Structure 1
Amino acid sequence: MRSVWGDRSRRRRVLAAGVAALLWGGAAPWTSPSAQAAEGRPGNPGSAFSWGTNRQGQLGDGGNAIRRSTTPVRVCGAAPCTSPLDRVVAVAAGGEHSLALRADGTVWAWGINFGGKLGDGTTIERSSPVQVCAVGETAPCDTFLTGVTAVAAGGSFSLALRADGTVVSWGSNLNGELGDNTTSEFRSVPSPVCDTGATDCAADPLTGVSRLAAGEAHSLALMSSGLIASWGNNGLGQLGDGASGTQRNRPGLVVGPENAIDIAAGASHSLAVLSDGTARAWGSNSNGQLGDGTTTGRTLPVAVCAVGATDCAANPLTGVSSIDAGFSHSLAVLSDRTVRSWGGNFAGQLGDGTSGNQRTTPVHVCAVGATDCTANPLTGVTSVTGGVGHSLAVASGLARAWGSNFEGQLGDGTTTNRSTPVKVCAFGLSSPCGASLSGVTAIAAGPSHSVAVAAPRADVSIALSATPATVAPGGTLTYTVTVRNNGPDNAEDVEFDDTLPPNAEFVSANPSRGSCVVPPVGSSDTVTCRIGTMGANGQATARIVVTVRAAAGGTVTNTATVSSTTPDPKTVNNTATLQTPVG
């Protein structure tokens, strides 16, 4: 999963029902445990966007959104937010903090820094990203963590998987969740996670890891062998070792699964997908989050039921390709790219059109606008993630969200809870949003904030026409500049420059939208018009009037060029030139 939990210094352990009551009552999300966290699987590089609560700087926008944003904002590349955090391939959202993995293998963190979970050698809250230090560094760090291939964010700690298959961890360690064979209060820079049975983690680190997951205070590692290692809090059996109540400060093996292909960690439950497409679950089950048809906690993995089944061993959920976990609910993507959900549903986070009723076996998640989820399920899904009371999905490159929305964590421009999926607004838009955040390659849900990686694509074009077709010397010539976005995604910061003919003098400029910077009347110069965000298939025009000062038999030549900050793979249509004869 991609979410996380509240800081232990600010909360006490509560049952999922208690959390539901707090959230329904409008309590601030940091007063209760948040949601889980898991591996961010690298995708195509893009920019980081975030939405929801920003009280601890977890949106990473330099505090520009102040308390919250109900639509996506850009995560800063660096203070003071003059550029976006780009070339990001994966994100994770923890207990009021966020992580980003960049294509160069470095890790960046922002938000609250309880226990040093940002990894910058301090415990200072950050409203814009800071780089995670190298192992063993001290602040101010001179070297930084590199070679990372995946990240996970827990309640008050963070994990990173390196290219050599080893794992490093940082942050709070009160329950042994760092896996470094200690229960030191915290570590503000990364340290190695021990191998199973090892005592010297630097000499004998955990190796052969392919994926990570982080819960409130426990950690999971999927080994390339298909085995699962676990460590940290085990109060409700979430380590899957057949016991409960005994935490582990170094990895041990989950009993049972030997052919796992995916893992996820909720607040106090854990999930795995096996190579045969079935799912296993263990740990807390107070809200049915194990999906085995009961509310009985399990210290060993059990099979997740098929939809409508009562005997999970005989009729397990099949065709599962990936899995994720929220605070007390679970989500699975099937091979047909539809989603199943089960567990707590106090705010509609199961996405089946209901709320307030937990599900102990899986149900279908609805398509946007659908009421019959079985007949009209959400399709095209490549990844899902769960927070305390909300869920997110990437469907055909678009962001979808459902569940709790009191802090705007659904990103649809409102604070209205949703029991079926809605569109996450495109960057720069507000409710009612005409376009979705698109080009999404990764997504993560924190307690009440969300983070995504998006690489939108636009195709802006420009065209020129003029009246009259032939202009008389000293006559008035009116240019019509037409700008379009022919691409599938929003074009951001669209503007065009119109270079006036040297043998014509400017009179006026009137855009259909946006504003123009114009030269003095009577001069020959450039008109620059700023249009702003333009949705897919959007269009804007501008009428520019000039007086011709050319002799008969000559021509006046006008050139206009359009640009956008959104990547544009087709620039051949970004410039237009028009010659008008003078007669």
Structure 2
Amino acid sequence: MPTLLACGSNGAGQLAIGHVEDAAVFSPCVFDPSCPPFESVIDLVSAASHALLLVSAEGRSHLLGAGTNTHGQLGKACALTDSSRPATSFRPLSIVRDAGFEGWEPIKVAATWTTSFVALESPDGSAARTQVIVTAGSDDFGELGGGVIRLKDGERVEHLRGGQRHVLAVLSSGSGNARKQRVIGWGAARRGELDPKPQPPMGKGKARVTRTRPPTELTLELSSPIIDIALGASHTLVLLANGRVLAWGSDLKGQITGLDDATGVRAIGATWNGSYLLTDKLWSQGSNTHGQLLRSDAGETRAPRLPVPLEAEAVEAFAAGSEHILALARAAARTDLWAGGWNEHGNLGVGNTIDSAQLLNTGVRATRVWGGCAASWALV
């Protein structure tokens, strides 16, 4: 089995490292004997107190989870609910069975603060391969979206992402030149995070829609296909295949100012109040209260987009956590995991809890990284 490491906030056991203490260094994740031996990790998401892990074993994907289940975000009847103690190892989940889709295969996962989202595909041999999105957990901001989100005939889920309290899914149908995409969103909506149209000033005493449920289709003018999405606490980023970026939602910290001018973008990321673009350089903008923009102007709340100073030669890939950044960067003919930003829970993995306004080399040689709520994950 591949080795999965984790560090950071762990009061609910969500890192699956065998205990409920925060970890300031990367530690191996623990897997319950009920988990299947897996060959690869498909995806991983972690939120306030739980984590979802999608793995591939014997040609089929399996959904695992760790942490607490106080809101049912890990399923109603899974092993994690057998006691009141947090599950400190990864175990199989019952979310798929709970939703009435026994035998369907999980293909994508996402999470908001205390809610889980799983895209499922119907079993082989069914009359037509069908996909749905099932939800579990809290519904404070309409995150459940009604429970089961059914797609149109022939549609599939290309991307599924959760922010702090809102969710977006990119759905597609057809193939080749006939391929079409549409975007649906639900959850928190007060700051325009589900409305790509420019937000006019609100009159005195008026308030925006606070939440959207069931999912609504977003009106987008696409100059190129969508290849990725990233969600912050209350803003949304969309990356197009032509290297352009669409952005909407809150700009209170300057997190989306001028993003429509960016070109040649290869990857995007969002912390709660910041935005990050990877071109030939790594760029950052937004809130920098904990040095999470990886620049010396820590404390600025509307920092303009600037390139991140690097000791490494180049950033090959990166992931954004709640207010920290993980990067696979090349230096001296090797690629290591670098980290910077907010570090209150040791989520930078460098052995301390001191914030860093620059990327620090953790010494971990990873092939993939994921950022969560004050948590970091690396596949080695």
TM-score of Structure 1 vs Structure 2, range by shorter chain? 0.7 to 0.9
SS in 2 for 1:226: strand
State the Cα distance separating 1:267 from its structure 2 match.
0.9
Give structure 2 stretches of 5+ with no counterpart: 122-129, 173-179, 200-207
RMSD between aligned alpha carbons?
2.8
Superposition pairs of residues 83-482 of structure 1, within 5 angstroms = 87-103=40-56, 104-119=60-75, 121=77, 124=84, 125-137=86-98, 147-163=105-121, 164-180=130-146, 191-195=147-151, 207-224=155-172, 225-240=180-195, 242=197, 244-258=208-222, 259-292=225-258, 304=259, 316-334=261-279, 336=280, 338-368=281-311, 379-387=314-322, 389-396=323-330, 397-424=335-362, 436-441=363-368, 443-454=369-380
**Kindly tell me: are residues 119 and 280 of structure 1, through their superposed partners in 2, closer, same or farther at Cα, counting changes over 3 Å?**
same
Equivalent position amino acid for 1:235 in 2: R
Are the aligned partners of 2:131 and 2:150 in contact in 1 as well (CA < 8 Å)? no
Normalization by structure 1: what TM-score?
Answer: 0.54
Following the alignment from structure 1 to structure 2, what is the Cα–Cα distance between the partners of residues 207 and 252? 16
Following the alignment from structure 1 to structure 2, what is the Cα–Cα distance between the partners of residues 144 and 48? 28
2:203 is matched with none
Identity %: 27
Larger Rg belongs to? 1
Equivalent position amino acid for 1:228 in 2: V
Equivalent position amino acid for 2:30 in 1: C
State the Cα distance separating 1:398 from its structure 2 match.
2.6
**Kindly tell me: are residues 273 and 257 of structure 1, through their superposed partners in 2, closer, same or farther at Cα, counting changes over 3 Å?**
farther
State the Cα distance separating 1:46 from its structure 2 match.
2.7
State the Cα distance separating 1:153 from its structure 2 match.
1.8
SS in 1 for 2:314: coil
Deviations 1:356-396 (A, max 9, x none): 1134532112224xxxxxxxx76132232231x21112235
Deviations 1:17-36 (A, max 9, x none): xxxxxxxxxxxxxxxxxxxx
Following the alignment from structure 1 to structure 2, what is the Cα–Cα distance between the partners of residues 422 and 437? 11
SS in 2 for 1:135: helix
**Kindly tell me: are residues 67 and 84 of structure 1, through their superposed partners in 2, closer, same or farther at Cα, counting changes over 3 Å?**
farther
State the Cα distance separating 1:233 from its structure 2 match.
1.4
Following the alignment from structure 2 to structure 1, what is the Cα–Cα distance between the partners of residues 10 and 230? 25
1:76 is matched with 30
Deviations 1:412-457 (A, max 9, x none): 1122211110122xxxxxxxxxxx211322x222222212222xxx
Are the aligned partners of 1:290 and 1:360 in contact in 2 as well (CA < 8 Å)? no
Are the aligned partners of 2:163 and 2:234 in contact in 1 as well (CA < 8 Å)? yes
Following the alignment from structure 2 to structure 1, what is the Cα–Cα distance between the partners of residues 358 and 289? 13
State the Cα distance separating 1:168 from its structure 2 match.
2.2
State the Cα distance separating 1:257 from its structure 2 match.
3.6
Normalization by structure 2: what TM-score?
Answer: 0.81
Confirm or deny that 1:62 pairs with 2:18.
yes
Are the aligned partners of 1:351 and 1:403 in contact in 2 as well (CA < 8 Å)? yes
Equivalent position amino acid for 2:47 in 1: G
Count of paired positions: 342
Following the alignment from structure 1 to structure 2, what is the Cα–Cα distance between the partners of residues 109 and 205? 30
**Kindly tell me: are residues 361 and 69 of structure 1, through their superposed partners in 2, closer, same or farther at Cα, counting changes over 3 Å?**
same
Following the alignment from structure 1 to structure 2, what is the Cα–Cα distance between the partners of residues 276 and 102? 31
Moved over 4 A (4+): 83-86, 143-146
Are the aligned partners of 2:285 and 2:306 in contact in 1 as well (CA < 8 Å)? yes
Equivalent position amino acid for 1:344 in 2: S
State the Cα distance separating 1:94 from its structure 2 match.
1.1
**Kindly tell me: are residues 61 and 390 of structure 1, through their superposed partners in 2, closer, same or farther at Cα, counting changes over 3 Å?**
same
State the Cα distance separating 1:106 from its structure 2 match.
0.9
